[in-house]
Amino acid sequence: MSIDFKEILKKHALFLAGKNGGEFADLSNADLIDADLSGADLRDADLSNADLRDADLRDADVRNADLRGADLRNADLRNAYLSGADLRGADLRGADLIGADLRDADVRNADLRGADLRNAVIFEGWRLKND
């Protein structure tokens, strides 16, 4: 089944603005391998357990999104806004996080091996503790 990203993003934008016709973006468990979501506004969206391998999320806004258990291996997250995102248990091996904003992101039990974090914004609210 093909996912109509434009329609989902359009409805999610309306949802975020509190307008009629808006719909929360629930992409949990979605197959988004190699998807082009660059610049997408996915604030507060549910992407838990989504397969985002090799996806393009450059400049995407995924603040406060639920990415628990998501597969983000080799994803391009350059300059993405991930502040407040829930990345617990996410697989970020080999992900490009150059310049990403990870303030207050919850990365407990996330796999960041080989991820490129150069110039990423990381402050004390970022939790690295394994439970």
**129 pLDDT more than 60:** no
Structural domains in the chain, CATH included, are 25-131 (2.160.20.80)
pLDDT in tens, 101-122: 999 999 999 999 999 998 888 8
Question: What's the whole-model pTM score?
Answer: 0.90
pLDDT for the residue 2: 64
Q: What CA–CA distance (Å, rounded) separates 119 from 13? A: 29
Task: Please name every residue paired with 74 in a beta bridge, in sequence order, or none if there are none.
Answer: none
Q: What CA–CA distance (Å, rounded) separates 43 from 77? A: 15
Closest CA to 96 of 125, 70, 57: 57
Show the tokens assigned to 58.
């450059």
